[in-house]
Chain A
Amino acid sequence: MQEYFIIIISAVFINNIVLSQFLGICPFMGVSKKLSASLGMGGAVSFVLVVAGFITWALNTYLLTPLGIGYLQTIAFILVIASLVQFVEMVIKKFSPSLYKALGIYLPLITTNCAVLGVAIINIQKEFSLGKVMVHSLSHAAGFTLALVLMSGIRERLEDADIPESMRGVPIALIVAALMSISFLGFSGLI
Chain B
Amino acid sequence: MSNLHDGCGAHGHGTWSGTWQNVRGDIDRHLTMTPDSAALEITLKRKIGSFLRPEIQSLFFHRLAHYLHVNNWRRLARAISRLNFQLHKINITPQSCIGPRCRLPHPPGVMFHGRAGSDLTIYSLAICTTAEDNLDGYPESGPHLGNHVLLGAHCVLMGPISVGDGSKIVFAVRLNCDVPSGVIALSKVLRLSYQSPDGGKVSSRAGNLATNSGHRD
Query: Is B a genuine binding partner of A?
Result: no
